[in-house]
Amino acid sequence: MLADGPAAGARFDDTGSRKTTTYQKTIMAAKDWKDQLSGLLAPDQQCSSEQKPAKKPVEFPDNKPVNRQELILRFEKRNGKPATIISNVQCTPKELEELASQLKKHCSAGGSAKDDEILIQGDVRTKVANYLEKMGHKVRGDFKR
């Protein structure tokens, strides 16, 4: 016979009280992770729930000069899927791949780089334009500011 209501599927012992399963014990023990962590840290390293880590600003590699250039940003549909295209990129293939990698990480998207063009999957024109302008490039094309 099936029980209705919130106790459906619950396990009970002989006295009629609810049994706690091993899984539930594991979940309850996991709730005390802050207590376990505080035992591992030194007293001056105690974490508090009020402290929130500050967001780090975007850092760009300073070890080499960035070639400032005017880039063209456009939106296309390729095979029915949205794509953001950055063209007019004048640099070496290695620098092109590095810039494409930075853009893909910033936009959390896939993409590729070849023939002085960078393709980023999805309509991320605004994100790409803001990122490139922070790097010092001039960006033109259709995107929202």
Average pLDDT over residues 117-126: 94
- Of the pLDDT bands very low, low, confident and very high (cuts 50, 70, 90), residue 124 is very high
| Residue 96 pLDDT | 92
Superfamily of domain 70-141: SUI1-like domain (3.30.780.10)
User: Is the separation of the CB atoms in 121 and 110 below 8 Å?
Assistant: yes
| Res. 122: pLDDT tops 50 | yes
Q: What is the pLDDT of residues 46-91, one digit of tens each?
A: 555 555 555 555 555 544 445 678 899 999 998 999 999 999 999 8
- Percentage of the chain beyond pLDDT 70 is 53
User: Is the separation of the CB atoms in 89 and 116 below 8 Å?
Assistant: yes
Helix (H) or strand (E) holding 106: helix 93-107
Q: Does the pTM of the predicted model rise above 0.75?
A: no
Average pLDDT over residues 10-18: 65
| Residue 32 pLDDT | 66
SS3 of residue 119 by DSSP = strand
Average pLDDT over residues 16-22: 66
Q: Kindly report the three-state secondary structure assignment for every residue of 11-80.
A: CECCCCCECCCHHHHHHHHHCCHHHHHHHHCCHHHCCCCCCCCCCCCCCCCCCCCCCCCEEEEEEEEECC
| Residue 64 pLDDT | 47
